[in-house]
Amino acid sequence: MPSSITYPGNIILTGFMGTGKSVVGKRLAALLGRNFLDTDTIIEQGSGKSVAAIFSQEGEQCFRGYEKEVCRELSETRGFVIATGGGMLLDPENRKLLSRNGIIIRLDASIPTILHRTQRHQHRPLLNCEDSEQRIKSLLAGRSAAYASLPFHVDTTGMEPDETAHRALNIVRDVDGSSQFIPVKTHDRGGYTIVLGPEMLRTAGTMLRDRGISSKCMVVTDDVVADKYLQILLGSLKASGFNPEACIIRSGEPSKNLSEVQKLYEAFLKYGLDRSGAVIALGGGVVGDLAGFAAATYMRGVHLVQCPTTLLAMVDSSVGGKTGVDLPQGKNLVGAFKQPLITIADTACLQTLPHKEFLMGMAESIKHAVIRDPELFEHFEKANPNDSGVESIAQSIRVKVDTVEQDPFESGLRETLNLGHTVGHALEKCSNYSLLHGEAVSIGLVAAARLSSETGLCEQTVSQRVEALLERVGLPVRHTMDPQELVVAMTSDKKTRDGQIRFVLIRSIGEVQYGCSVASGVLLHVLSELRV
């Protein structure tokens, strides 16, 4: 294996029939000195039948069942080059399985190219029809959302297999061995991938190439992030044939307002951004929320790419599609759901992140652990308080991904992600946003834990563990606000229903309950106890 390749996982080539997966896979495996596997061949060997025979005798549904079994087996392996059947990764669960230990590259080709290549072979059961071209168009239309969700794309039209193999090799060469790929399923059975790892901004252009995006890409960032990472991103985009421009806002929560959104609209129009272009959000949560809302509403929606540069944005605000801006009456009162094409989280950005900003992300990571991952919580209790390893970040992200996949529009289960936020948002507002979001969430988590204990929902030891962990990593657990003012602020929170303040409370580490009401006397008592 070439010494420059550090990625130890599987390299998975997928895409429509006739795009060259098997022949390119064999060439790539030879270049890397790896073994090559073809999932159709594995199925044929295991069943004793050809793919065509399985389709004709047992049906497509049975074949898809064989594919899922193969995915489960391959998810436990590493170090192979794998070519999949064209329909295997239409199933979100299969995408998740193979992404656990693999990097997925989608091969594409024009319809005339696919038609030409597939006419050479008579073993394509899905093309056994009178009008193959129309059938190809129909199948591609049905698969477009799933194919678009994959992190890397290579258009093989007009390319020889060796050239395509070297394109794939260059993609893998740029991926660090610690990188993680986290698929996110959306309600249209498509989705996107969160790409997490060091130096990923340098591969942004590669990931956006061959996706049908025009050369127009507007990067929205703030004045702090621009000094550090804007040129890296612009350089990557230009190297892949894009013609990007940047719009730089002032850093901080005060920029998250409708006036700034209008300025972005004006910048988009001046640049000539249309619906085939993309808005790229480079920065923390404020930039992601603001640029995401602008992308969701400009021309009724343009492509969005999230490039979070803070731990808080990586594990929380860039995941799940929620975008929005603040009003004087409260946070995030105007917003929209907007899913990105891809999220590129470059963990190298965390090296320049001020420690206080790092702690803001730790607050959300601990929140996720309390909600659904007791093992991650125990890891935080024992690990270095400054731990920012890719694996622990990925675990935290997966908690949110699993939640938003089940409830994409916050109609129920997703409310659990508001743990600590009812009190937290009130603290932010009453401090005139001098209290940072993560600081407010930390205190809000302590309040939620104490409310849970006071109401008998959890043992007192649970509340004590939550508070001790937050203190251990260096987050605040007390406030200086007037408890009565905090209660008034909570009544204008968007989570309130019919005037009733709703809380997410804790049953145990890893299990919470949403939609809870708390007696006003108990709430004031806990808020008073936490005041210094």
Provide the percentage of residues in the chain whose pLDDT is more than 90: 85
Sequence ranges of the binding site for ATP: 18-23, 124
Strand partners, 512: 506
Provide the percentage of residues in the chain whose pLDDT is more than 70: 97
Sequence ranges of the binding site for substrate: 40, 64, 86, 143
Strands (E), 68-110: 81-83, 102-108
pLDDT band of residue 1 (cuts 50, 70, 90) is: very low
How many whole angstroms separate alpha carbon 52 and alpha carbon 265?
A: 53
CB 364, CB 438: distance < 8 Å? yes
**pTM, two decimal places:** 0.91
Could you tell me which residues come within 8 angstroms of residue 333 by beta carbon, excluding any fewer than 6 positions away? 324, 326, 327, 494
CB 71, CB 104: distance < 8 Å? no
- Answer yes or no: same fold for 10-173 and 193-353: yes
Stretch 329-355: mean pLDDT: 93
How many whole angstroms separate alpha carbon 397 and alpha carbon 394?
A: 5
Q: What is the pLDDT of residue 410?
A: 76
Q: What is the pLDDT of residue 494?
A: 65
Does the structure show a pLDDT above 50 at 2? no
CB 518, CB 451: distance < 8 Å? yes
Stretch 219-241: mean pLDDT: 97
Stretch 77-88: mean pLDDT: 96
pLDDT band of residue 322 (cuts 50, 70, 90) is: very high
Q: What is the pLDDT of residue 212?
A: 85
Q: What is the tens place of the pLDDT at every residue in 149-197?
A: 999 999 999 999 999 999 999 999 999 999 999 999 987 668 999 999 9
Sequence ranges of the binding site for Mg(2+): 22
Q: What is the pLDDT of residue 121?
A: 55
Q: What is the DSSP string of 458-484?
A: S-HHHHHHHHHHHHHHT----B-S-HH
CATH of domain 193-353: 3.40.50.1970
Q: What is the pLDDT of residue 247?
A: 98
pLDDT band of residue 492 (cuts 50, 70, 90) is: confident
CB 427, CB 479: distance < 8 Å? yes
Does the structure show a pLDDT above 80 at 130? no
Stretch 345-354: mean pLDDT: 96
pLDDT band of residue 123 (cuts 50, 70, 90) is: low
Q: What is the pLDDT of residue 117?
A: 87
How many whole angstroms separate alpha carbon 355 and alpha carbon 335?
A: 30
Could you tell me which residues come within 8 angstroms of residue 490 by beta carbon, excluding any fewer than 6 positions away? 422, 423, 425, 426, 496, 501
What are the distances in angstroms from CA 251 to CA 222, 290, 494?
5, 11, 25
CB 231, CB 219: distance < 8 Å? no
Q: Which token pair is 437?
A: 């979001």
Does the structure show a pLDDT above 60 at 396? yes
Q: Residue 354 CA to chain centroid, in angstroms?
A: 23
Q: What is the pLDDT of residue 496?
A: 73
How many whole angstroms separate alpha carbon 522 and alpha carbon 401?
A: 33
Strands (E), 72-190: 81-83, 102-108, 152-155, 180-185
Which range (22-26, 83-87, 383-387, 388-392) has the least confidence? 383-387
- Give CATH superfamily name and number for 407-529: Dehydroquinate synthase-like - alpha domain (1.20.1090.10)
Sequence ranges of the binding site: 18-23, 40, 64, 86, 124, 143, 251-256, 285-289, 309-310, 322, 331, 349-352, 364, 421, 437
Mean pLDDT of the chain: 93
pLDDT band of residue 295 (cuts 50, 70, 90) is: very high
Stretch 103-121: mean pLDDT: 89
Strand partners, 500: 497
Mention the CATH class of domain 10-173. alpha beta
Does the structure show a pLDDT above 80 at 271? yes
Through-space distance between the first and last CA atoms of the chain, rounded to whole angstroms: 60
Does the structure show a pLDDT above 60 at 20? yes
b/e burial code for range 449-471 (CB count within 10 A of at least 16 → b): bbbbbbbebbeeebbebbbebbe
Q: Where are the domains of the chain?
A: 10-173, 193-353, 407-529
Short-list 404, 400, 438, 445, CA closest to 422: 445
Sequence ranges of the binding site for NAD(+): 251-256, 285-289, 309-310, 322, 331, 349-352
Q: Is 455 helix (H, G, I), strand (E, B) or coil?
A: coil
How many whole angstroms separate alpha carbon 91 and alpha carbon 99?
A: 12
Q: Is 393 helix (H, G, I), strand (E, B) or coil?
A: helix
Could you list the active site residues?
A: 300, 322, 364, 400, 410, 414, 418, 421, 425, 437
* Neighbouring C-beta atoms of residue 3, cutoff 10 Å: 5
Does the structure show a pLDDT above 90 at 454? yes
Does the structure show a pLDDT above 80 at 92? yes
Q: What is the pLDDT of residue 129?
A: 73
